[in-house]
Structure 1
Amino acid sequence: MKRLPVLLLLAWALLATARAQAWELVGEARLTFLFWPVYDSRLYSLDGQYREGQRPLRLEIQYLLDVEADDLVSRTVAEWQHQQLQHPRQQEWALQLATLWPDIREGDILAIELDEAGGNTFYRNGQRLGGVEDDAFGAQFLAIWLSPATSRPELRLALIGND
């Protein structure tokens, strides 16, 4: 009877490892502001290739400084405005992000996974945070980095493997 919890834990660990190994790196980039490094980002797909609109995708951002959750939400909204991305639920999305995202500390990894159906899940340091309940959100969120209209085209090119 004592072996059952151990076996279940082992099976869960193997499943988690197999899932993590399914992602292949597409590209990576560092964002700097003036001469300060802000974050390192990595884009993953199942085959290591990026095609516009493809799913599933995973974007990881490892922060190289502390960032408050409110600042992350504000920057997200500012990037949508920069790209003139509009959606009737954007304000609601921002409110959901404000409750979903924690303050970030140097070294933390914030990741988002988009599934085949367009659903999204955020993770902080491997721990599931939840997602925004709207299938349109994921594509618009990833557009911050992956759209040709991004404010950081050099970052985009490195992420999609065209640097």
Structure 2
Amino acid sequence: MLEKKIADNPTDQAAVLDYAIRVDNLANPRDDKGGDAPKPANYEELIGKAETAYKKAIEMNPADATANFQLGALYFNRAVVFNKELNGLDSKQQTSPKAKELQGKVEGLMGQALPFFEKADAGFTAKASSLDASDKQTYESCLYALQKIYAIKNNTAKVEEVKKKLDGLGAKQ
């Protein structure tokens, strides 16, 4: 139904973004308690569709903080999955080719996520005084992700900068 809506209105950025978020949610289902549910059999296909739609939404409105956040989150969440797999390896496997491959995937996806989170941060910062509760929550998630990526990259100055933003955001709520 949404695919038809987008086909009929290919320049409707809000519809494209809505479609991307819904497909992303289908790829990453939640259980009744809000935890991760098993991934669907067509996970890769769904993630590909979501990624393409997020990119299209950003192409239509490069400054859209939510679209940038969502694409960053798509990459970040994939990195988290590989990181869990990496952390699940026993000590003997930590230096294996498999571990190196997983580490490379984590770092690559975090690197892909970073510019989108930074754009989202800039967008949310620009309208900080007029953010609604939902946007504040998204902004907070964005800042936590940025903090994690900067920590992985050992960029202490950026970690501190983000921490100050998080502290400031907490005071406004």
TM-score surpassing 0.5? no
Whose strand proportion is higher, 1 or 2?
1
Under a length normalisation based on structure 2, what TM-score does the superposition of the two structures give?
Answer: 0.27
Whose helix proportion is higher, 1 or 2?
2
Under a length normalisation based on structure 1, what TM-score does the superposition of the two structures give?
Answer: 0.28
